[in-house]
């Protein structure tokens, strides 16, 4: 099974800290996303998976076929990349893969931010805005292929994942609980959802997901020898 893994920034409103400013995202028009998806479409994927709750697959499918899509949703990467790509490839539907349920209230990074590891935690989390600022510099060039190649580069993927690795090593083990019982578990569920949704006749898939997931999705898929995963940053077509 060939997999093209396309990590993305969040384009619409989200509380996720891996998000560019509205001014930055507004620099990209339909023309830019058309260029990006035309490039990804060269993969000739049979199925496309996106970051949307799997239990809302029917809703996702209905929106895909609807002419009534609100303006807020049109700003989202699901619409701008996922839907656009699926329609270029003539797909009947697009596939949800996400799991993101509430955790036990005691497993909360906010508690780490106030606890004995507060200073170390703040130093780790401060690296994320620095990475976003570097993305913002690339955005000014308005070259969307360059931007997405960088987001999916080994440098970006490894540095992003190191945030979670470092959180697990804090003195406050609450961070370890959050990474292991939420973050790793979530990505295991995502990969399992994808595997369960692949049709028997499918030979190639594209996964469009928040870039923070890239490292673990790739790792967990490659634990299965039947999958060959290529991040978009390494993909040449």
The pTM assigned to this predicted structure is: 0.92
pLDDT value of position 206: 98
Distances in whole angstroms, Cα of residue 119 to Cα of each of 35, 106, 128, 146: 43, 20, 15, 35
The average pLDDT across 218-232 equals 97
Give yes or no for a contact between 53 and 96, defined as CB atoms under 8 angstroms apart: yes
Tell me the pLDDT of the chain averaged across its residues: 90
Question: How much of the chain exceeds pLDDT 90, in percent?
Answer: 68
Domain boundaries, the chain: 2-234
The percent of residues above 70 in pLDDT, for the chain, comes to 93
Q: Which range is most confident: 82-91, 106-115, 171-180?
A: 82-91
pLDDT of 20 over the 70 cut: no
CB contact set of 37 (below 8 Å; sequence gap of 6+): 81, 84, 85, 88
Banded pLDDT at 29 (limits 50, 70, 90):
confident
Indicate if the pLDDT at residue 17 is higher than 60. Answer: no
Tell me, what's the pLDDT at 185? 95
Residue 189, pLDDT > 60, answer: yes
For residue 96, how many C-alpha atoms fall within 13 Å in the half-sphere facing its CB?
A: 16
Structure tokens at 37: 């998806």
Which H, E and C letters describe 164-233, residue by residue? Answer: HHHHHCCCCCHHHHHHHHHHHHHHHHHHHHHHHHCCCCCCEEEEEEEHHHHHHHHHHHHCCCCCEEEEHH
DSSP element (H, E) containing 106? none
The answer on pLDDT for 105 being more than 80 is no
């Amino acid at each position: 099974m060939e997999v093209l893994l396309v990590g993305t920034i969040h384009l619409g409103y989200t509380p996720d800290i891996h998000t560019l400013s509205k001014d930055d995202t507004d620099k990209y028009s339909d023309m830019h996303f058309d260029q990006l998806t035309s490039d990804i479409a060269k993969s000739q994927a049979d199925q496309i998976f996106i970051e949307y709750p799997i239990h809302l697959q029917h809703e996702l499918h209905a929106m895909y076929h609807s002419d009534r899509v609100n303006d807020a949703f049109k700003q989202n990467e699901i619409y701008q990349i996922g839907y656009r790509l699926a329609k270029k490839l003539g797909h009947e539907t697009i596939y949800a893969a996400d799991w993101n349920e509430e955790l036990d209230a005691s497993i909360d990074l906010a508690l780490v931010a106030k606890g004995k590891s507060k200073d170390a935690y703040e130093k780790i989390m401060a690296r994320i805005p620095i990475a976003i600022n570097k993305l913002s510099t690339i955005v000014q060039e308005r070259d969307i292929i360059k931007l997405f190649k960088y987001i999916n580069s080994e440098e970006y993927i490894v540095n992003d994942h190191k945030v979670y690795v470092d959180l697990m090593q804090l003195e406050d083990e609450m961070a370890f609980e959050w990474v292991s019982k939420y973050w790793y578990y979530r990505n295991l569920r995502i990969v399992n959802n994808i595997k369960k949704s692949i049709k028997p006749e499918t030979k190639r898939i594209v996964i469009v997901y928040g870039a923070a997931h890239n490292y673990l999705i790739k790792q967990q898929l490659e634990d299965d020898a039947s999958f060959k995963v290529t991040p978009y940053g390494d993909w040449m077509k």
